[in-house]
Amino acid sequence: MDLTEMPPGGILKQPEFFYGRYRIGIREDYVKKVSLAVVLFVMAAAMVSATSLIPKEIRVGESDSGKTIDVFVGQTLSINLGENPSTGYRWTVEDYKPALLEQLDTVIKPGQGVGGPGQKIFGFLAKKAGECALQLAYARAWEETVPPAKTFKATIKIRKAGSPKNVQMSDGGPKSGPVMKLGMTLGEIAEALAELKGSELEVTSVVEFRGPEPKEYVNLIVCKNKNAMPRCPNDKLPMSNKALKAMVGNLLAHYGKKAAAKEPGFLLGGFAQPGYVQMTILGTGLGLYFNVSTGEPMGKLTGKL
């Protein structure tokens, strides 16, 4: 399954239920009115500069059995399978590699009416780069010697986000812009932000850049007053000082002293993930999503530097 392929089904509505810390939404039919399509396109284009290239979640179903599914470290893989408990059949996980995939809570969506078919949604968090088999079986628990009525098998290829200078999708898909390097280490940013108080935390800081396109980002300028911004060529960060402080704190708390000496950067361009931006710690290949309002990570941080 190529990462550029849009999952079938249409537009994502407001999420209805959760597994772990990950949301699952219900899809509606594609809206075919040209006017709405134009509005959605304009909205997506407006959010490009502050969003990430890589979707937070890959959704697959029974039709994807037998395929190779590509995911990035930190992404969630959701497997939606039809299930009718009234028949005694249940989907269960038969094989996967816990070192690479972390199984999340399973969601059961009942069908309509008594005995109606429903859905069972399995979630897996990609923890580490590598490749493994993933297999699920649809069978009755008491029929141990009977082959499963159905199986779902896939090869999962997990890789780190691409080089920060050129994060892209295959087959000519959208490419990211440059990495907005902050020019300071995480430790230095934490020290600078620790001095801010009150309304200073609500201000959005900027990064100075040089030259024409492509821009060369050179230095984070921590701003304290929105009415006294620097005059040098600069771009605003995709989050406020308060959110930036929370994001840096989360990174340091999880990755420790090694992270304190490394420089972060925001990955710009690509498809919009509303409310989130993707960042990286330069030299690590990580691609991590953070909420632009709170600075909290999407899901939980995993792995080591």
Lowest mean pLDDT among 24-38, 124-138, 167-181, 236-250: 24-38
| In a domain? residue 26 | no
Residues 93 and 148 in one domain: yes
| In a domain? residue 229 | yes
Residues 114 and 249 in one domain: no
Task: Identify the domain boundary among 106, 127, 159.
Answer: 159
| In a domain? residue 262 | yes
Range of the domain at 208: 31-53+165-305
**pLDDT tens, position by position, 105-115:** 888 888 887 77
Long-range contact set of residues 140-144: C-beta below 8 Å, sequence gap at least 24: 140/88, 140/89, 140/90, 141/88, 141/90, 142/88
In angstroms, the CA 129 to CA 149 distance is 32
The mean pLDDT value of the chain amounts to 78
Residue among 137, 136, 141 at smallest CA distance from 149: 137
- Tell me: pLDDT of 28 over 90: no
Residues 105 and 117 in one domain: yes
Task: Identify the domain boundary among 159, 174, 203.
Answer: 159
Residue among 53, 64, 9 at smallest CA distance from 31: 9
The CATH code of the domain that includes 113 is 2.60.40.2020
pTM over 0.95: no
| In a domain? residue 273 | yes
Residues 243 and 153 in one domain: no
| In a domain? residue 294 | yes
Residue among 143, 117, 105 at smallest CA distance from 62: 117
Are residues 54 and 162 in contact, defined by beta-carbon separation less than 8 angstroms? no
Residues 42 and 59 in one domain: no
| In a domain? residue 19 | no
- Tell me: pLDDT of 245 over 90: yes
Lowest mean pLDDT among 31-40, 52-61, 157-166: 31-40
Which of the pair, 55 or 305, is modelled with greater confidence?
A: 305
Overall domain count for the chain: 2
**Residue 274: CB atoms within 10 Å:** 10
- Tell me: pLDDT of 250 over 90: yes
Which H or E element spans position 186?
A: helix 186-194
Residues 270 and 194 in one domain: yes
Residues 208 and 65 in one domain: no
Task: Identify the domain boundary among 107, 126, 159.
Answer: 159
Contacts of 291 by beta carbon, 8 Å cutoff, 6+ apart? 243, 275, 276, 297, 298
